[in-house]
Amino acid sequence: MIIPLAVSVIIPTYNAGNSIIQNLSALVEQKCAFAYEIIVVDDGSTDRTRDLVEEFIENADSSVGVRLIKASHGGPAAARNIGVKEAQSDTVLFIDADCIVQEEWLSSMVEYLFADPSIAGVGGTYTTLNTESPTARFVGHDIAYRHTRLNKPIDHIGTYSAAFRKKALLDVGLFDETFAQADSEDNDISYRLVERGYRLVFQPKAVVSHPHPSRARLFLMKQFRRAYWRTALYAKHPQKLKEPDWYTSWHTQLQPFVWLFPAVLILPLLWLNALLVPPLLVLAVVSVLSLNAGLLNWIYSKEKSLKFLVFSSALCVLRSLVWALGGLLGMLRFGGRLKSRQSVQ
C-alpha cells in the first residue's frame, strides 16, 4: 500500500558538508502522524556535500524517503524552485542546510496549513546554535526581539524555516532567481504572496537551532550584503519603503539614514572647523542607539551584563553604518530600477 505524502521538506545546499548530516538526522526523526519526504537540492557544491548525502541515503534506517537532486550553481532561489517542482506533495517546507530542527518542528509548521485552508504560508522561529560566541548571541537576541512584535497575519517569512502551499508558490511564479544570493528572495516571494491575497502566519512553536555569524567582522559583512540586496528588493517593491514589513519596521529602516547628514557635512565642516565633526558623529551614534533602545533593553534583560550591553551597542552602531554603505552601493546598481518604478506609480 502506497501512503500519500503530506509534506515535502526541501533543503537547498551549497558546500554544507559540515552541517548536512546533522540536519538530515534530525529531520528523519520527526514526531508526526503523516508521511513526508526530504528533498536535498545540491546547488553545485564543491565540497563533500553530495557524497555525504548519498552515504546518508544509502545507510539511513528510516521510513522517510530522502532524495538528492544535483544542480549547477544557481543560488538558493533556483535550488528551492527545483525542489518545489520535484515535490510530490501539495505542502512544501523549506529549511536551511545548517539548521537543526526540534523533533516536533514539522508537525508544528503544518498545523495551521492543515487546519485553515485560507492560510498559504507559515514561518517558524529559531534559537542560536553557537551561543559561545557573543556576536552570535547578539544576533539571536535581535531576532528573538523582532519576533516578540509578531501578530498574525504577517507579511514576511524567512525560508530558514517556512511552509507553503505548493499551489500558492506556483501561482506567484516561484522564487525570483535574479536574487542570486541568500538575501531578500524570501522577502520578495512573501510580498508577492500577500499582494496576491494569500495569508501568511507566524508559528512560534516551530523551532530550529541555527548558527549565526561567530565574529563581528563576519556579521557586518553579512549585513552589508543584506543592505545591498535590500535595495534590489525595494526596486521591485517600492511600497515597502513607506510600509516596511513586520521584521524590518521603521526603526530599522531609518537607521542607515542617520548617517546621511554626517556623510554630507563632514568634508565642508573639516574645511570650516574640524571641531564641529565629533559632535556631529556623536549625534549620529546617539540617534542610532535611541532607535535600538528597545532591543538593547531586551538584550540587557536576557544577559544581565553591562559589558555585553556595551558590546551590543557597538554592534548596533556599526551595523547601521554598514547598512548605509551597502544601501548606497545597492542604489548605484539598482537605483535606476527604483526611480523608474516610482515614476510609473
- Domain residue spans of the chain: 7-214, 239-344
Give yes or no for a contact between 37 and 67, defined as CB atoms under 8 angstroms apart: yes
Select 7-214's CATH number: 3.90.550.10, 3.40.30.10, 1.10.1670.40, 3.40.50.300: 3.90.550.10
pLDDT in tens, 95-133: 999 999 999 999 999 999 999 999 999 999 989 999 999
Run means of pLDDT, 10 residues per run, the chain, 345 residues: 74 96 95 94 96 94 89 94 96 96 95 94 94 97 89 85 97 93 89 96 94 96 93 91 83 88 66 69 92 96 97 97 93 65 38
pLDDT value for 267:
59
DSSP helix, strand, coil percent of the chain (3-state; round to 5) = 55, 15, 30
Report which of 229, 254, 240 is spatially closest to residue 195, judged by C-alpha positions: 240
Give yes or no for a contact between 93 and 162, defined as CB atoms under 8 angstroms apart: yes
pLDDT value for 338:
47
pLDDT in tens, 240-258: 988 888 888 888 889 998 8
